Amino acid sequence: MTEENRPADVPGEAVTFINVFEVPAEHLDAFVARWEERAALMSAKPGFIDSRLHRARSSETRFQVVNVAHWESEEAWRAATADPEFGARARAAQDDPDVEVTSSRGLYDVAAEFTAVG
């Protein structure tokens, strides 16, 4: 999110949270359903702007699911992720012995941006 496309009510220190997941293809639908439950919880937290979960079109793609969320600040994101209920739901998703899910997450700032010409 850059200054040009940032909504007027979003402060300049907004951050992008990206989390990529490796999920076995046969467990994708269940994973998405559990993610939606966690996202609904987070969407009510102060500082939450939006979130989109992207699903790979090919089962050959390493990261089958990618979450991209925007928060008003790193502090708001940290406070929301410190919520005990969210933590319990996130651990439950990772601790299912029948489904091996790995994730890699981080906070990002835009380094470069291009839009369509013309």
Residues of the chain with pLDDT under 50: 1-2, 6-11
pLDDT digits (tens, 9 = 90+) for 29-45: 989 998 999 999 999 99
Reading phi first (left if > 0) and then psi (alpha if -120 to 50, else beta), residue 69 is in: beta
The pTM (predicted TM-score) of the whole model is 0.80
The residue to which tokens 């998703």 are assigned:
93
Residue 4 is predicted with a pLDDT of 53
CA distances from 7 to 1, 2, 15, 56 (A): 9, 10, 13, 28
Residue 87 is predicted with a pLDDT of 83
d(CA 53, CA 15): 17
Contact between residue 76 and residue 10 where contact means Cβ atoms under 8 Å apart: no
